[in-house]
Amino acid sequence: MKKLVLAAWLLSLAPLVAMAQSDVIANAPQASVTQADIETLLKSLNPDGRTRLAADPSAMDQLVRSTLAQKSVLAEAKAKGWDKQPQVRAALEEAQREVVVRSYLASVNAPPAAYPSDAEIQAAYEQNAPAFTVPRSLHLAQIYLEVPPNTDAASVEKIRKQATDLAGRARSGDFAALAKANSQDKTSAANGGDMGVVPETMLLPAIRQAAAALKAGQVSAPVQTPTGFHIVKLIDTRAAAQRPLADVKEQIRATLRAQRLQQNVQAYVGKLAANAPINEDALKKALAAAQ
């Protein structure tokens, strides 16, 4: 009876285990990278950085691998007690002091809640117009076939022929269906190959050149890049234009507040230490001892 109860309990955990495993993007013996890890990293980037990564599968893979390597090294170091080393503990304490100081200074020197005013935001917008210009953008879809590193020439040629066949079928058939069935860029494949609207400057040079020769609705020949072959469809183009003030108002507000905070901090710290007497003899002894 107890065995049956235990078996039932284990079965009840199966969905939770499956959910946890599905959240894992990459594994190593000592660590793993989860969806939450990558989401946190992506959210720390600006929108342009996220767009650039979304358009470059190899860069996304590299982000995952570098994160996995870092977590593996950290796990190995902790397992060997490296975080208990005197010099490491001293560095951690110094980092902690810096965090405390920075957060305290930010707290006591924060600009007034009403800063900046709408007029100040408007002035900053007009004075920095080029910074708020969106470059020419392309709405693209793609079918991507990966060429793994160190692939031999015969295999590369086989993938090239597959890409050429897919390009021909895509010109006269259902591009979205072909992308879903064949593209190895899983993110865009799920959307029928749709990569969204990508600033032209963020595209790989070879893809940008191929897209420049297309009209809306046309499909390119296979484009080879260091990571594989791309069959590109141009959906639409968007000319360069200045973003409306409403779209960047909060960005400008945050920038102006950060600048004012920095000015306030510098003035605050300057007052604290400006008139402190300095013992030059003791300073010279410290320099000599450090040689």
Q: Which domains does the chain have, with CATH numbers?
A: 2-84 (no CATH), 91-132+247-274 (no CATH), 136-239 (3.10.50.40)
* Kind and range of the H or E run holding 227: none
Reduced to 3 states, what is the DSSP secondary structure of residue 186?
helix
> When comparing pLDDT for 174 and 11, which is higher?
174
Task: Return the structure tokens found at 87.
Answer: 């010099």
CB 33 within 8 A of CB 184: no
Higher pLDDT, 11 or 235: 235
Please check the confidence at residue 53 and state whether its pLDDT lies above 80.
yes
The tokens 């990569």 sit on which residue?
195
What is the pLDDT averaged over residues 44-51? 82
Structure confidence at residue 8 as a pLDDT band (50, 70, 90):
low
pLDDT per position as a tens digit, 75-124:
999 999 999 999 999 999 999 999 999 999 999 999 999 999 999 999 99
pLDDT tens for 211-222 read: 999 999 999 999
What average pLDDT does the segment 10-33 reach? 68
Count the Cβ atoms, other than its own, within 10 Å of residue 255: 16
Please report, rounded to a whole number, the percentage of residues in the chain having pLDDT higher than 90. Answer: 71
Sequence-distant (6+) residues with CB within 8 A of 135 are 199, 200, 201, 240
**pLDDT band (50, 70, 90) for residue 275:** confident
* CB contact at 8 A, 234 and 211: yes
Q: Is 219 helix (H, G, I), strand (E, B) or coil?
A: strand
Residues 198, 51: Cα–Cα separation, whole Å: 7
Pairing type for strands 32-34 and 137-146 reads unpaired
Burial of 167 (0-12, 13-18, 19+ CB in 10 A): buried
Residue 226 pLDDT level (bands cut at 50, 70, 90): very high
Inter-residue contact 228 to 184 (CB < 8 Å): yes
Give CA–CA dist 126/279, Å, rounded. Answer: 50
Q: For residue 202, what are the contacts with CB-CB under 8 A and spacing of at least 6?
A: 48, 51, 52, 55
Q: What is the pLDDT of residue 13?
A: 54
Q: Which two tokens stand for residue 210?
A: 């191929």
Cis bond before residue 116 (omega within 30° of 0): yes
**Mean pLDDT of all residues belonging to the chain:** 89
pLDDT at 250: 93
Is residue 224 within 8 A of residue 242, CB to CB? The reply is no
Q: Please give the helix or strand (H or E) that residue 194 lies within, else none.
A: strand 194-199
Q: What percent of the chain has pLDDT over 70?
A: 92
Confidence at residue 46, expressed as pLDDT on a 0 to 100 scale: 81
Nearest to 69 by CA among 28, 100, 104, 34: 28
Kindly tell me if the per-residue pLDDT of 66 is higher than 50: yes
Residue 273 has what pLDDT?
A: 80
For the segment 7-13, the average pLDDT, to the nearest whole number, is: 51
Distances (CA, A) of 249 to 7, 30, 130, 180, 284: 58, 45, 15, 38, 51
